[in-house]
Amino acid sequence: MHGLVNRSLQCFIRDTYGEDPWTATVARAGLGATEFDSLECYDDALSEALIGAASAVLNKPRAAMLEDLGTYLVATPGSQNVRRLLRFSGTGFEAFLYALENLPDRARLAIPDLDLPALELRRTGAGEFVLAVRWRTPDAACVLIGLLRAMADDYGALALFEHAPGDHGSEAIRVQLLDTGFAEGRRFDLAGAAR
Amino acid sequence: MSAARDPLTEGRVIGLSGAALDLLVPWHLWIGPAGRIVRAGPTVTRIVAPPGETLTGRDPFTLLDILRPYPVRDLARLLLLKGHRLRVRLQAHPDLSLAGMVVPLPGGGGAFLTLSPGAALVEIVRRFDLTLDDFAPTDLTAEMLFLIEAKSAAFRESRRLNERLRGAKTVAEAQAMTDTLTGLANRRAADAALAGLTAAPGPRFGLMHVDLDHFKAVNDTLGHAAGDAVLQEVARVLREETRRDDVVARVGGDEFLVILRDCDDLGLLDRIARRIIARLEEPLDRDGRPCRISASIGTTVSSFYDDPAAARMLEDADRATYASKSGGRARHTIHVPDGPEGSMH
């Protein structure tokens, strides 16, 4: 798994719960290092051990914890990177949904060795979509649900997301888009803040 | 490549509504035959027009400077630049220049100019508060901005990582116990060994301070590489003339400490010191040029002291070495407790 994934989990636990739960997670997972590099790649088993340990330490069901991680990635004021990079996908939430399928390609534009879940969006009715998520574990769909919820907020859209089993070993997320202009949404400056 | 003549398209022109033009080419400027702006895309209006005004009817050459390939100030000359890459400066923002291209409109109907932010992209987007809607969906600008942002984030991350590694390196260096040139123990390791020995009750050990003679001359005449080779050779001799459990440390440029465990036999220590001096005096061949050095050595032993303290012993060994130096170098001196240093030679 790419180091960004492990590092995201590390930052999520540290920022949300504090240093001690993170140290406990690392210890429980039987790892020596407490610091992950976002420019490295790690073994999948290591990420698996971390997620299991974090869920036990935080006393939170695995799926719920991963959803929180997805929300954290977008909604944390301190880390604007993921939110901003996602906002480049489109001016409204519906356009954003349609652009999701390009997400792995877009991510590879920036980080060539970043492997993201394959996504496929199907429109099933007015304002209703099914997003098929193909990944090595079901975890990706959980993280995505949290992330999509936060992005809907960001765009000011009102939408419901539901985890459903997919076919052929994929996971599915059912999306009901109720109102694209429900709230004002957060401002997005295309060029970013002056640095 | 010349296209085959197609009767369906031959001599025909496409007519597009203003709304279609705005969607397809949001960065367009249509200049009429009289040299006045007929219409402008929404983004160009935002960038070029004075705040709150429109561009219709205005003279484009009072708003834009066409700089490259060469300056032009009227429609007729502008049209001569058909198909060229233009550099276009905004008069209201002289620090910003855009890329542009012009084509003539059919039947002498004026010119159609398209603009693009070029390399000033980020600054233009920021200054005019542009959004994704200011670019056609087929335009790669969004990808470009995405990449610029992702690249900056990766840069920050890489810098953070570098700082962390540099910090770790500093810590590792501070904790190092080895002299990197010779592989001997360093000052910190020698201090730690001495502290360990003197902390135990009734310690028994000899402490030898070895200071090379004529080393500076080797460095000065044969160069630092030769100097380094000599230091490595000295390290080899010191290791060979001592036992595995003894501590041999390089504690300065050409200064060494030898801690001989369980040894306070002055006669034996003197024989060891003299053997070291003799071996160091054997000429080393360096690229056909002989390198000659020697050593001044000073020794003290723990049994000289009621309560041997590392600092005191180091000072005494150092003073004995100084006596060897001032006595003519290439000799060994044993510290005399509570008295002037007496040479064993």
Task: Give yes or no for a contact between A192 and A85, defined as CB atoms under 8 angstroms apart.
Answer: no
pLDDT above 60 (res A128): yes
Report CB contact under 8 Å: B150, A111.
Answer: yes
B340 contacts B320 by C-beta, under 8 angstroms: no
Which of A88, A192, A195 is opposite residue B142, by nearest beta carbon? A88
Alpha-helical segments (H) within chain B: 18-24, 42-48, 75-79, 121-127, 141-175, 187-199, 215-222, 224-240, 266-281, 310-326
User: Residue B149 and residue A39: Cβ atoms within 8 Å?
Assistant: no
pLDDT attached to residue B85: 94
The whole model's pTM is what?
A: 0.66
Does A45 contact B at CB distance below 8 Å?
Answer: no
CA distance A90 to chain B (A): 7
Question: In whole angstroms, what is the distance from residue A155 CA to residue A94 CA?
Answer: 9
Residue with tokens 């003539």: B104
Per-residue CA distances from A100 to A95, A107, A140, B133 (Å): 9, 11, 14, 18
**pLDDT value, residue A193:** 61
From A37's Cα to the closest Cα of chain B, the distance in A is: 7
With CB atoms and an 8 Å threshold, state whether A85 touches B150: yes
* Spatial CA neighbour of B125 closest among A43, A175, A193: A193
DSSP state of B177: -
CATH class label, A86-179: alpha beta
Contacts of B151 in chain A (CB under 8 A): 110
For residues A62 and A51, the answer to whether their CB atoms sit within 8 Å is: yes
Q: For chain A, what are the domain ranges?
A: 3-60, 86-179
pLDDT computed for residue B4 by the predictor = 64
| Tokens describing residue B143 | 């990808």
> Which residue, A128, A179, A186, is CA-closest to A155?
A186
Tens digit of each residue's pLDDT (9 = 90 or more) over B185-227: 999 999 999 998 998 888 999 999 999 999 998 888 888 888 9
Per-residue pLDDT tens digits for B68-97: 999 999 999 999 999 999 999 999 999 999
For residue B250, the one-letter residue type is: R
Instruction: Write the pLDDT tens digit of every residue in A145-180.
Output: 999 999 999 999 999 999 988 777 789 999 999 988
What is the DSSP code string of chain A?
A: -BHHHHHHHHHHHHHHH-HHHHHHHHHHTT-S-----TTSB--HHHHHHHHHHHHHHHT--HHHHHHHHHHHHHH-TT--HHHHHHHTT-SSHHHHHHHGGGHHHHHHHH-TT----EEEEEEEETTEEEEEEE-SSTHHHHHHHHHHHHHHHHHT-EEEEEEEE-STT-EEEEEEEEETTSS------TT-S--
Interchain proximity B130–A35, CB inside 8 Å = no
| B47 interfaces chain A, CB cutoff of 8 Å | no
**Kind and range of the H or E run holding B86:** strand B86-90
Judging contacts by C-beta atoms under 8 Å, the chain B residues touching residue A185 are none
Q: Which residues of chain B have pLDDT under 70?
A: 1-4, 339-345
Sheet containing strand B86-90, strands side by side: B37-40, B28-31, B111-116, B93-104, B86-90, B64-68
Using alpha carbons, list the distances in angstroms from residue A76 to A71, A84, A86: 8, 12, 14
Q: Given an 8 Å threshold on Cβ–Cβ distance, is B129 in contact with A189?
A: yes
**Single-letter residue type at A48:** E
What is the C-alpha to C-alpha distance for residues B181 and A80, in angstroms, rounded to an integer? Answer: 47
B228: alpha, beta or left, given left = phi > 0 and alpha = psi -120 to 50? alpha
Using CA atoms, how far apart are residues B294 and B281, in angstroms rounded to an integer? 5
Contact A39 B161 (CB under 8 A): yes
Q: Does A98 touch chain B (CB under 8 A)?
A: no
Are B31 and B63 spatial neighbours (Cβ–Cβ below 8 Å)? Answer: no
B18-135 folds as: Beta-Lactamase (3.30.450)
DSSP β-ladder status, B294-301 and B332-334: parallel
Distance CA B25, CA B40 (A): 10
Give per-residue pLDDT as tens, A18-72.
999 999 999 999 887 778 888 788 888 889 999 999 999 999 999 999 999 999 9
Measured CA to CA in angstroms, residue B41 lies from A73, B138, B151, B240 at distances of 37, 16, 31, 86
Show the tokens assigned to A154.
């960001």
With a CB cutoff of 8 Å and minimum separation 6, the contacts of B241 are: B272, B275, B276, B279
Domain B187-343 = CATH 3.40.50.300 = no
- The set of catalytic residues of B is 254
Distance from CA of A189 to the nearest CA of B (A): 7
Q: Which two tokens stand for residue B243?
A: 């036992």
| B130, B149, B164: residue with CB nearest A192 | B149
